[in-house]
Amino acid sequence: MYIVKNAIINITRNKGRNILIGIIIMVIAAACSITLAIRASADKIVTSYEKKYPVNATIGMDREALTNSLREGDKTQEEMINTFNSIKAVTKDEIIKYGDSKYVSSYYYTSNINMNAKDIKEATDSLVKETTTTKVETTTKNESWTKRNPGNRPGRPFEGGSSTTQKKTTTQKKTTTSKVENIRNEKAGRGTFSLVGYNSYESMVDFVNGNYTIKEGEVSNDFKSNSCVISEELATLNKLNVGDKITFKSPNDEKITYELTITGIYKENTDESSNMSNMYSNSANRVITNVTVIDNIVKLDTKLEPTITPTFILKSTDVVDKFTKEVKEKGLSEYYTVTSNVDTVLGATKSIVSVKKFATTFLLITLVIGATVLFVINMINIRERKYEIGVLRTIGMKKISVISEFMLELLIVCIIFLLAGAGVGALSSVQISNSLLEQEIENAETDYNEINKNFGGSMEKRGPQREPSQFGITNIEKVDSMDAVVDYQVLGKLLGIGVLLTVVSSISSMIAISRFSPLDILKERS
Of the candidate spans 276-284, 326-334, 338-346, 384-392, the one that interacts with other proteins by CB under 8 A turns out to be: 384-392
Q: Identify residues 324-363 at the interface with other proteins (CB under 8 A).
A: none
Q: How far is the CB of 514 from other proteins (least distance, A)?
A: 14
Question: Any contact of residue 9 with other proteins (CB under 8 A)?
Answer: yes
454 near 219, Cβ under 8 Å? no
Query: How many residues of this chain interact with other proteins, rule: CB under 8 A?
Result: 24
Q: Which of 401, 404, 434, 470 binds other proteins (CB under 8 A)?
A: 401
Residue 12 or 132: which CB sits closer to other proteins?
A: 12
Q: How far is the CB of 398 from other proteins (least distance, A)?
A: 5
107 near 59, Cβ under 8 Å? no
Residue 3 or 89: which CB sits closer to other proteins?
A: 3
| Closest of 195, 263, 245, 226 to residue 457, by C-alpha | 263
Q: How far is the CB of 516 from other proteins (least distance, A)?
A: 12
Crossing angle for the helix pair 399-454 and 15-52, nearest 10 degrees? 30
Q: Which of 224, 303, 383, 398 binds other proteins (CB under 8 A)?
A: 398
| Closest of 316, 305, 266, 257 to residue 289, by C-alpha | 266
Phi–psi pair at 78, nearest 5 degrees = -65, -40
Q: How far is the CB of 402 from other proteins (least distance, A)?
A: 10
Of the candidate spans 18-26, 274-282, 391-399, 459-467, the one that interacts with other proteins by CB under 8 A turns out to be: 391-399
The Cβ of residue 53 has, within 10 Å, a number of other Cβ atoms equal to: 14
Question: Any contact of residue 158 with other proteins (CB under 8 A)?
Answer: no
Question: Any contact of residue 381 with other proteins (CB under 8 A)?
Answer: no
Q: Where are the beta strands (DSSP E) in 92-128?
A: 104-118
- The two most distant CA atoms of the chain are separated, in Å, by 173
Residue 4 or 500: which CB sits closer to other proteins?
A: 4
Q: Which of 306, 310, 390, 425 binds other proteins (CB under 8 A)?
A: 390
Q: Which of 7, 10, 46, 452 binds other proteins (CB under 8 A)?
A: 10
Q: What's the distance, CA 105 to chain centroid?
A: 11
| Closest of 204, 206, 211, 205 to residue 270, by C-alpha | 211
Question: Any contact of residue 513 with other proteins (CB under 8 A)?
Answer: no
Question: Any contact of residue 392 with other proteins (CB under 8 A)?
Answer: yes
Looking at this protein, which amino acid is placed at residue 458? S
Looking at this protein, which amino acid is placed at residue 447? D
Q: Which of 397, 491, 499, 504 binds other proteins (CB under 8 A)?
A: 397
Beta partners for 106? 313
What is the rounded CA–CA span in Å between residue 477 and residue 445? 10
120 near 284, Cβ under 8 Å? no
Residue 10 or 289: which CB sits closer to other proteins?
A: 10
On the CB side of 412, how many CA atoms lie within 13 Å of its CA? 18
How many residues in total does the chain contain? 526
Of the candidate spans 39-47, 157-165, 420-428, 515-523, the one that interacts with other proteins by CB under 8 A turns out to be: 515-523
Q: How far is the CB of 519 from other proteins (least distance, A)?
A: 4
Question: Any contact of residue 376 with other proteins (CB under 8 A)?
Answer: no
Binding mask 13-42 for other proteins (x = CB under 8 A): xx----------------------------
Q: How far is the CB of 10 from other proteins (least distance, A)?
A: 7
Crossing angle for the helix pair 399-454 and 2-13, nearest 10 degrees? 80
Q: Which of 99, 150, 423, 518 binds other proteins (CB under 8 A)?
A: 518
Bridging pattern class, strands 286-290 and 104-118: unpaired
∠ CA 33-38-40, rounded to 5°: 90
Residue 32 or 392: which CB sits closer to other proteins?
A: 392
What is the rounded CA–CA span in Å between residue 229 and residue 218? 8
Question: Which residues lie near other proteins (CB under 8 A)?
Answer: 2, 5-6, 9-10, 13-14, 388, 390-392, 394-398, 401, 517-519, 522-523, 525-526
